[in-house]
Structure 1
Amino acid sequence: MKGLLLRLSALDADAATAVRVIAHFEALLGGATLDTTALARTTAGLAECAAGVALSDGRGARFGPDGAALPGEPEAVSGSVALGPSGRVWLERPGRPGPFDELILEWMAIAARMLSGGFLRPPAPAAPAAPRTPDVADPALVELVLAERESDHDRARALRRLGLAPELPLRMVAVRGDPAVDPGLDAVALLGRAGLEAVVRVTRTGPWGTVLVQPPAGATDSPATALRAAVADPRRGPDVVRDAARRLRVGVGGLVPAPAARDSWAQARTALRFAVAGTPREAVADHDALGPVALLADIPAERLGALPEARQLDTLAAQPNGCLTIAALAAFCRTGSLRQAAAELHLHHSSVAARLAHVEAALGWRLRDPEHRFRAQLALYARQLAAVPA
């Protein structure tokens, strides 16, 4: 992280500051102790203004930037994030909020939620939990759960140490984002915003943010909808953070027995290949929703990229504003409606119509024809999968 900060400082001071904020909370969450005092005091020092936290169970703290505890209630709050019905975190900056206050508050809220019990209703583990915080997982334990040749007994023991119930099903989620940011951090921030009704454990596995999601007994709904809402969440602070979020891609695996988490992890990584950074609808791909389309991922990437239609789409994408043309085509294929596609892309419908007419002229398609629209969707899938190999 130190090396990354040095490189970013030479390129973009805002980027370096954003990563420094994330690094601060990553270190805090990974520390041996985390309580309201440490959270409020260190945040105040980071933000250079008074900061406070109040949990719904009555625990709380308020500190000034000099590290001194502050009594009583805050006089002027410059920014806050609610935590359930009665809790909150806040900053007390004189004058206008700082450019990174929203980012600081978002991460402060994630830490506070962990203090108040994490991501809701964790089952009591059969053995003492190994992670140092309620929601940040020990990567060695996650690797054991996902390993190919471990025994069911060893997997069950690792699941219990992660605070998960081996007898309940779970699903895996894979997260990829800005290459300049640790994917584990992207995953923690995303799941913090999603607030799933599930036990959630997050770590990093290779280039992926790796998430284990275990819903309550009997719950089967996919978290894809909540994750799309979290991707769309406007509370992202300065432009550098919003730009990083636009590059976020998420793959959701199917619900499987906990000892078979490896199967869901393979599905999550397959779904991730179908995810396209940009709009929340495309940025989160659900393996269950893909259905038979997921089988396209079994075709070698070079064969998919060699399809004439995929090459033609590459040519269109390379033209001025070509990315918008491809986005318009994808939105129209998905919705079947010019106006819905325009609303999703925040464009005027006449602009989308002009881009679709350009696609039709270049590829000889009639996109109002279901057969041609099906061919266009397959070409989009082929191009995406060729660009994101397994």
Structure 2
Amino acid sequence: MQGLMYRLAELDADSAGLVRVIDYFDALVRHGADTASMLRASAALADCVVGIDISGWSSSSEPRRCDPRGRWSPQPRLAPSASKDVVVDDVVVGSVWIERSGASLPLDEMLVDRMALTAAIILQPRRVLTDAEHTRNLLFPMDELAVLTSCAALRIEPSTPVRVLVYTAGGGARLPLSGELAPGRSTEIEVDGESLMLVADSFMPTPEFVDVARSRSVQVGISLAAAASDANMLVGTAKFARSQASGPEPIGNADDLGALNLLVAGQSLAHAAIPDIVRAAELRDSEQGSELLATLRVYLRSGTLRAAAESMHLHHSSVAHRLTKLSRHLGFAVDAVENRARTTALMMVIDNR
């Protein structure tokens, strides 16, 4: 939105102002403002007294006026310089206005229009979101407030470790995922033809789960682990893991991709979210660990155990022993052919930290 404002400002200052006013009131709606806070914010924006009368909506409601300093019912009272009806469900329930002394400003009409629209949205009876909608808002939030609101509604502590599971079923097939897998009240949702679900950090696919996925031609991706409040940062790693799954191996796990997760497009992952990098960083801080990583670096550059051993003036069994020891610490075989890309990505990150 800010970028749009700047572009409009270059073309037409009034257009930029219109967008700013719209964005200002949209933010009030997103953050759950009530009519009182909307009125205070409107007075601050208009830099003059503003008012609202919704006695047609509630017989107990009285007209309220607020000045730019947030004081209620300031004196003296001026005649409205611009006003607008507040309409809820095609019924006029009141009005809003501004009391500007002197000449009106170009954006005054837009300001009262957005005041009226915002008041109507606030007064509209609010529908309670479903668990599926809150799950979607947690995985694809508009802002930080949406994340915290969804965590509270789903009864998930924001710090709870979770993963995101995603799959695209061939021929519309679905996996028989138990609701017990999901933390709190979160549920499986479908977005753009993909099924997504929050699962506990400890989730491990059972042999039966793998067999069902294979028999139904379903590729599944399991994300890295993170706190529930950061679940939206995991979606990309789950999709990336799924892209590495195949028929014989229908489950892709982001943990098995290590530093390769940094390749996820449009995703900004902290290095601390990737176990490979965390473990390697711990090793680098010790003399023995630094030696093991140096051996791996030479091995990757040399291509074979014997070539690495010759370069380091060691016996090839000594190099193999060091790589085995390093593999135990990192949790995967660093010298396995299938892990070559993962190991290379890890060393590139470690060498540039």
Query: For the superposition of Structure 1 and Structure 2, which TM-score range results when normalised by the shorter chain?
Result: 0.3 to 0.5
With the length of structure 2 as denominator, give the TM-score of the two structures: 0.35
With the length of structure 1 as denominator, give the TM-score of the two structures: 0.32
Structure scoring higher RCO (CA < 8 A, sep ≥ 6) equals: 1
Highest Rg: 1 or 2? 2
